[in-house]
């Protein structure tokens, strides 16, 4: 009977080998000097998946009982599956309370339809280990589900993970009040340890597919120092039951060959974000994020459908995002950094976007959020012993020019936006630090105000049609070798 059940469950899983390449259709960028080479996009995503052999977590004592922590039962099933060479661990329909889980090489943890994992609200159920958070390496609590130092592993199924993060949100807001009084806004995000939803770290050929993840304590899904990973059909909602601070949706952090598709993200910060380290520590690690494809995704509340930064130190390059929907998020495309981050953001391609009620269609800022971005120790702390991560944050970038970020080679086309606040706010820093090679083509936007382009070089806008409520036009200052053609209605 159990064998027959396994066959039925595998049919429901529909989890087959991804031995395939992605066909990159011919995208239209308009009349650009050189058509981009996007051949790299054909090889992103997980190229292998775990075996289909099934292990049932109920054989290891798992019962649908929220009065006890089920962590040890599920972890025992994962460990046994790994030891026998890999396969699929089935979590049957039911409700289970858990602490941190660790998926190992060769294992697919499958959450059956009707399964709910409720995360413990006790931070002691999430052991700490060295990780990277918001761009610096430091000790941090484990996530609810962790895939670390693994190959060919997965988290799949139509189940539901409720991270119960409000306890961490409340803790953060209380600490934030006190830290701002002490002029410590720059460090509160690092002192307030909050639990992430999913962490994939130092791993390869990892698949996250079809589950729903809600109210994570911190970032929902972080892919860190990893290669060939796929996030497919995942739903994230971090606006359930409160206002979760810094609850990014999907963070791709110093990782390569990543595919994000068919996802829906509702959060309180960046929806899908590309990162590569912060300041002196990020420059020390110096690992880029490159070769990322984002397609067929929807962003709802949040700070940006696709964001690069503000952690740019290791550089970000080769990002293709297409066939997307943005509803109510901050920006369609957002590039941000600060003058101590360094790194280069380049070869960013966004096309085929339907946007409604966004704040900015395109936002570019080399000097984002100064209160958060620049670390300064108040005088009263100078004679005190301070934590190691404070010292990391206070380490200056030397020479200072190494901290200057560079944004270039951005292609943005076939965008339709309605009921939006601003068309564009894009600024370089000065004559020697400009945003360079920005190509905007075939955009129709209904906005309250037009915005600005400042300190640009080789900025090209063509077939841009704006309906502007306040009748303003895009302010252009200090741009060189640029051609900006806009039709106002």
**Segment (H or E) for 358:** none
* pLDDT score for 241: 85
> The CATH number of 54-488 is which of 2.170.130.30, 2.160.20.10, 3.30.70.1280, 3.10.28.10?
2.160.20.10
**CB neighbours of residue 256 within 10 Å:** 21
Instruction: Count Cβ neighbours within 10 Å for each residue of 7-30 and write b for 16 or more, e otherwise.
Output: eebbeebebeebeeeeeeeebebb
**pLDDT tens figures, 151-193:** 999 999 999 999 999 999 999 999 999 999 999 999 999 999 9
Q: How many residues does the chain have?
A: 489
The residue among 441, 439, 440, 447 whose CA lies nearest residue 467 is: 447
pLDDT of 9 reads 43
Encode pLDDT of 447-477 as tens digits.
999 999 999 999 999 999 999 999 999 999 9
What is the rounded CA–CA span in Å between residue 227 and residue 219?
19
Instruction: Give the span between the Cα atoms of 121 and 118, in whole angstroms.
Output: 9
Sequence-separated (6 or more) residues with CB below 8 Å from residue 13: 52, 88, 110, 156, 157
Domain spans, the chain = 54-488
102-127 pLDDT, tens digit each: 999 999 999 999 999 999 999 999 99
Is the pLDDT score of 16 beyond 60? no
13 confidence band (pLDDT: 50, 70, 90): very low
How does pLDDT run across 215-262, given as a tens digit for each residue? 999 999 999 999 999 999 999 999 988 888 999 999 999 999 999 999
Q: What is the pLDDT of residues 333-357, one digit of tens each?
A: 999 999 999 999 999 999 999 999 9
Token pair of 310, please?
């503000």
Left if phi > 0, otherwise alpha if psi is -120 to 50, otherwise beta: which for 404?
Answer: beta
Q: Put residue 164 in one of left, alpha, beta given phi > 0 → left and psi -120 to 50 → alpha.
A: left
Q: Are strands 128-133 and 136-141 parallel, antiparallel or unpaired?
A: antiparallel
CA atoms within 13 A on the CB side of 344: 11
The pair of three-digit structure tokens given for residue 330, joined into one six-digit string: 């901050």
DSSP 467: E
Residues ≥6 apart with Cβ < 8 Å to 458: 436, 437, 438, 481, 482
- Please determine, for residue 11, whether its predicted confidence score (pLDDT) is greater than 50: no
pTM of the model: 0.95
Residue 188: its H or E element: helix 185-191
- The pLDDT of residue 15 is 56
């Amino acid at each position: 009977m159990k064998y027959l059940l396994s066959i039925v469950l595998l049919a429901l899983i529909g989890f087959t080998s991804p031995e395939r390449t992605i066909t990159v259709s011919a995208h239209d960028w308009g009349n650009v000097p050189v058509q981009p080479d996007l051949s790299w996009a054909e090889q992103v995503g997980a190229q292998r998946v775990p075996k289909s052999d099934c292990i049932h977590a109920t054989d290891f004592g798992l019962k649908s009982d929220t009065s006890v922590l089920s962590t040890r039962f599920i972890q025992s099933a994962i460990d046994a599956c790994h030891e026998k060479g890999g396969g699929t661990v089935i979590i049957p329909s039911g409700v289970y309370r858990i602490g941190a889980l660790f998926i190992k090489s060769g294992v697919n943890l499958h959450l059956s339809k009707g399964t709910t994992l409720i995360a413990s609200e006790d931070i002691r159920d999430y052991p700490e280990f060295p990780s990277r958070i918001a761009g610096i390496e430091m000790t941090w609590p484990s996530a609810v589900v962790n895939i670390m130092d693994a190959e060919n592993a997965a988290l799949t199924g139509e189940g539901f993970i409720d991270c119960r993060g409000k306890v961490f949100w409340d803790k953060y807001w209380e600490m934030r009040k006190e830290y701002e009084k002490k002029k410590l806004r720059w460090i509160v995000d690092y002192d307030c340890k909050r639990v992430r939803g999913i962490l994939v770290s130092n791993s390869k050929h990892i698949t996250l597919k079809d589950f729903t993840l809600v109210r994570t304590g911190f970032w929902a899904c972080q892919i860190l120092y990893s290669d060939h990973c796929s996030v497919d059909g995942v739903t994230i909602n971090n606006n359930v039951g409160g206002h979760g601070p810094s609850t990014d949706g999907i963070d791709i952090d110093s990782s390569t060959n990543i595919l994000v598709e068919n996802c829906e993200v509702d959060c309180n910060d960046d929806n899908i974000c590309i990162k590569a380290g912060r300041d002196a520590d990020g420059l020390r690690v110096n690992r880029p994020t490159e070769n990322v494809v984002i397609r067929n995704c929807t962003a709802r509340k949040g700070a940006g459908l696709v964001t690069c930064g503000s952690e740019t130190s290791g550089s970000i390059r080769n990002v293709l995002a297409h066939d997307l929907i943005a509803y109510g998020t901050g920006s369609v495309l957002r590039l941000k950094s600060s003058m101590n981050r360094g790194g280069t953001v380049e070869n960013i391609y966004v096309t085929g976007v339907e946007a409604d009620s966004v704040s900015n269609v395109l936002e570019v800022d080399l000097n984002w959020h100064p209160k958060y971005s620049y670390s300064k120790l108040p005088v009263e702390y100078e004679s005190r012993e301070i934590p190691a991560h404070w010292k990391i944050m206070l380490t200056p970038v030397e020479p200072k020019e190494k901290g200057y970020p560079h944004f270039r080679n951005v292609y943005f086309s076939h965008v339709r936006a309605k009921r939006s606040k601003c068309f564009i706010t894009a600024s370089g820093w000065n004559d020697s630090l400009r945003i360079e090679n920005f190509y905007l083509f075939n955009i129709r936007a209904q906005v309250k105000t037009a915005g600005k382009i400042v300190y640009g070089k080789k900025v090209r806008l063509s077939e841009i049609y704006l309906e502007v409520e306040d009748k303003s036009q895009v302010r252009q200052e200090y741009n060189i070798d640029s051609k900006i053609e806009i039709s106002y209605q």
